[in-house]
Each structure stands twice: as structure tokens, then as C-alpha cells.
Amino acid sequence: MVESAVMEKPTKGSSTILKLDAAVIGAGVAGLYQLYRLRKQGLTVKAFDTASNVGGTWYWNRYPGARFDSEAYIYQYFFSEEIYKGWSWSERFPAQPEIERWMNYVADRCDLRKDIEFSTTIKSAHYNDDTGRWTLETDTGLTIDTQFLIACCGMLSAPLTSSFQGQDSFKGKIFHTARWPKDNIDLSGKRVGVIGNGATGIQVIQTIADKVGHLKVFVRTPQYVIAMQNPKYNDNDVAAYKARFDELKKTLPHTFSGFEYDFVEDSWKDLTPEKRQEILEALWNDGSLKLWLASFSELFFDPAVNEVVSEFVRGKMRERLKDPALCDLLIPTDYGFGTHRVPLETNYLEAYLRPNVELVSVKNNPIECITPEGIKTADGTVHELDVIILATGFDAGTGALTRIDIRGRDGRSLKEDWGNDIRTNMGLQVHGYPNLFTTGAPLAPSAALCNMTTCLQQQVDWISDCIQYLRDNNLNVIETTKEAEDAWVEHHDAIANQTLVTKTNSWYMGSNVSGKPRRLLSYIGGVGAYRQKCDEATADAYSGFDKR
């Protein structure tokens, strides 16, 4: 293990200047691995995180019911067989506490903590063209002078916490799911309102329905859902997945979505309706994201195919909901299955059949504001509540970066640039921001459509290799050219616009944030294809990037 670089320890409130080769923002999945890689390469590097511990998403999202929708044995680091095999999962889709423990295990095994400044927020990052370096300011009074800035801030880490007028006036307690307190919140006997039924809201609703006094769920857009199959693992199961380490490491980076599975090889048009149904049933019974990400690729492009699959899922939902009024409110009809994130669930639909659970449709009767007593809808009704849970989502992909005052060449502002048009070269660099690298940023699969660990490790590897290349060649500064960025945006859009995903409103398209430029955040050409494009740039001495 390479020793961490010796540096002056900053003191809070002082104006200490830290000089680094690389600063990493974030100590989540990407940030931890980025720190590990660059330290191994001999750089003086530190990571910074607002949180008081490691975990990123898995630190913040500690709301009731938070868990994986990726199989645990693939949501993994694959850089160390020892680390992979040293951790045993208890079930196929574990819950947040176990995931957070795993991230702590990785940080400890790699001795990463000594190079992480916790409870430290990067407030600004300004580039100096004369020195080719970045100056960062933290909320703790620290100034950081660094050659490379690697933003591993997460694509879903800027929560939409203040969506409603009057929030501050509420007499009860109000929580956003991504800022859930560490202390146990006792909801028993309480009147609880949940706003939002995306992947997060669904996990909350199904988990608290039988624990609260009365639950009101404010539903605007219904969701297609897949019933999760989540078996507990015994020693044999654990041994079986661990034995697949080499195979998984080889397979995951080359599939469409970074999972172990890929699309059905047969084309839809070549199959009989019976055979299609048989395949859909098998995928459904797997109880994973397979039905979405490893069924028929035509699902994403062909409205007729999409409608058949959508109707298949609607049928599954109808069987469980039974009540026609609930079916009308909870089964989507005006957009297609898989055109935005498909959540897995356990007894989510059944929650609405409970006598203490009430669905308030806010589609045609929107939430007007929050009053001291509860949630007021446009018809004038005030729904009186003790606790309001905001499962209202995130300013995805861009938000984590635009909430920092990032200034590139000539003082240009990333917030302003992305406020006009969201552009990157492969999600790795932005023209005008030399020596800034990003993971989980727009126009890469890691912005949404991917098993996150697969995509983030690939991006970290690319960035680390690129920095090594610069050092080996006595180069100090790298920046994507405008031409290469334009070409990537054009390629990205050309694929995206063929799909039905761009026709549906969701955070994938930025449509959940008012005024956000509309563009599919995630590259949809596939994880394997994306990797190939990145590798081509590497093999061609980072063509498309200016170096000096």
C-alpha cells in the first residue's frame, strides 16, 4: 500500500493552504476508488465530503426501506479480488445499513480515511489559466491549491428539498428522504404524508405503511413497478457468487447497462406472440431489473413493442390491485414502460389496500402549498398531518456541480454554461474547464442508465490512466476540445432521440427541475459501447483533448 502524502493538517476556521496534485470531491463509490487509484499512482491527493463519513448516496439515503435495485454481488468493486471475497452479503438486494457498512469496510481495507476530510463542503473551485491549477475554498476556511480536480459528487446528490411554498410554516416534522436523520424517527401512530412515488417514495411507502397511524400518499404520476425477488443468502449462495468473481469482472463492463445480463438475442419480430409472452414471464419471474434492461431492445425504440410490454406489466399490476379505482390511479397509461427508471418493489401496491392508507391524486388537483397543519391541495382541502416525507427527488446529474461555484477559463461559470445547455465530452470533461474531470456527470451511462459501480469504476480508471499519461509525458494541463465535445453531444443526441425515453418526462430528461435544459442526461448507446469510445480516445493519445 502506498503511503499517504504528508501534508500540513488544516485547522478549521484557519486560512491554511493545502497544496495537492489532485483533489477529489466526494467519498462515495467513485470518490473512494478515485482516491485509492491516484494515491497508488503516487499523487498527493485528498478527498473532501460534506458527510461525516464515507458512503455518498449510501450515507445520505437512510430513509426507511432504502435498498439496492442492483444485485449486491454486482454492485461491487472489482479492483481487488480479496476485497470482493472478504465481504458476504446477506441477501440479493440488501438494505442501506448493510450497504453503508460495506462502504466502510472498503474504506478501512484500503486505509482511505486518513486522506479524506469529512464534514467539509467545497464551496468554490476557480481555475487559473496562468498556473494551470485550481483553487478551492471550503466551508471550513480551507484553501486548496490543486493541479487536478476530480468531481465524484454523485448524479443523485443534490436533493430537491424546498419544492413547496410554506414548508417552513409546518408545525410537524418534515423530512426529505435524502436528508433523513441518523436517529430513529418514530412514526408509530402518526398521520404521515408522502409526496412522491418514484423509486424512493415506493420504498418508503411499502416500508412504513404498517408502522404509521395513517398514511396519505400524494400521487401525481403513477409508476410501472416490478415485484422484487429478494432471497436471503446462505453460505452456499455466498460461495457461489464469490466463485464467479472472474466471470463477473469480465462480463459487467461490456453489457448494455453494466449488469450481468443483456438484451434477448432474438429480435421481437422473429418471435411468435406465445414465445414473446413466455420470455416476458420468465423475465418478470426473475424479480429484478432484467425485464427492463435485458428484455427486448425494441422496447426502447418501437412504440408498438413498448405498448405490448407495458400492457404486460399493467396486467401484473391489475392482478394485485383488483380495485378498479386504484387501478385507474396507480397504473400508468400515458407513457411507456421503461421510458424512465423502473422501480423494484415489495408489497408496494398492497400498501394501498390497507385501511390506514389513502391515495390522494394530485394529478388534476395539484399540491398548492404546505400550511402549518399539513398539505393544501388546489381544491382548498388541507390534509392534516404530523409528518411530511418529501420523496421528491433530485436535481440529477448537474445539480451537485452547479451548486458549487465552479469557474473555468476566463471566469466562465459551469452553472451558467449548463444553465444554457448541458454539454460534456463523454461525461468526463467539459470544454472551458481544464484539468477538471467528472464522474457520474451528464452524457455518460453513469448519469443514470447503469449499474453504478460498473460505470463509475470505468470512469475512475479512465481518469487515472489519463493523469498518468500526462505525468509520463511531462504534460500539465488537459482539456477537451470544443470539436470533440460537439461531436460527442451530437452522437449522444442522435442515439437518444431515436428512443422513447426522450419523449417521456422524468429526471432522466431534466424535466423535474423547472428551467433545466432538456436533454437525456445519460448516454443510452450502452455501457460496453461507451467504454469502447473512451478506450479509443486513450489508445489515440487522448485525441479530442488539448494537452500542454
* Binding residues for ligand NA7 (CB under 6 A): 156, 163, 195-201, 218, 220-221, 341, 362, 367, 391-394, 507, 512
Question: Nearest distance from residue 213's CB to ligand NA7, in Å?
Answer: 22
Residue nearest to ligand NA7 (CB): 198
Nearer to ligand NA7, 36 or 68 (CB): 68
CA distance 528 to 545: 22
How many degrees, rounded to 5, is the angle at CA 230 between CA 227 and CA 233? Answer: 170
Question: Nearest distance from residue 203's CB to ligand NA7, in Å?
Answer: 8
Question: Nearest distance from residue 345's CB to ligand NA7, in Å?
Answer: 12
Asked if residues 42 and 161 have their Cβ atoms less than 8 Å apart, the reply is no
Residue showing cell 445499513: 97
Question: Nearest distance from residue 64's CB to ligand NA7, in Å?
Answer: 14
- Distance linking the first and last C-alpha atoms of the chain: 31
CA distance 335 to 307: 9
Question: Nearest distance from residue 4's CB to ligand NA7, in Å?
Answer: 33
Question: Nearest distance from residue 537's CB to ligand NA7, in Å?
Answer: 28
Nearer to ligand NA7, 439 or 512 (CB): 512
Strand partners, 18: 144
Question: Nearest distance from residue 295's CB to ligand NA7, in Å?
Answer: 19
Nearer to ligand NA7, 121 or 167 (CB): 167
Within 13 Å of residue 370, how many CA atoms lie on the same side as its CB?
23
Nearer to ligand NA7, 196 or 374 (CB): 196
Question: Nearest distance from residue 421's CB to ligand NA7, in Å?
Answer: 22
Distance of CA 142 to the CA centre of its chain: 29
CA distance 388 to 375: 8
Nearer to ligand NA7, 156 or 208 (CB): 156
* 515, amino acid identity: G
User: Which of 81, 68, 33 shows the shortest CA–CA distance to 244?
Assistant: 81
Q: How far is CA 297 from CA 24, 224, 291, 373, 532, in A?
A: 36, 18, 11, 48, 20
Contacts of 282 (CB under 8 A, 6+ apart): none
Contacts of 181 (CB under 8 A, 6+ apart): 175
* SS3 state of residue 429: strand
Nearer to ligand NA7, 29 or 156 (CB): 156
Nearer to ligand NA7, 363 or 548 (CB): 363
* 321, amino acid identity: L
Within 13 Å of residue 354, how many CA atoms lie on the same side as its CB?
21
Nearer to ligand NA7, 367 or 426 (CB): 367
How is residue 384 written as a grid cell? 392534516
Question: Nearest distance from residue 195's CB to ligand NA7, in Å?
Answer: 5
Nearer to ligand NA7, 267 or 511 (CB): 511
Question: Nearest distance from residue 506's CB to ligand NA7, in Å?
Answer: 7
Q: Are strands 387-390 and 173-176 parallel, antiparallel or unpaired?
A: parallel
* SS3 state of residue 282: helix
Nearer to ligand NA7, 197 or 402 (CB): 197
Q: Other CB atoms closer than 10 Å to residue 157's CB: what's the count?
A: 25
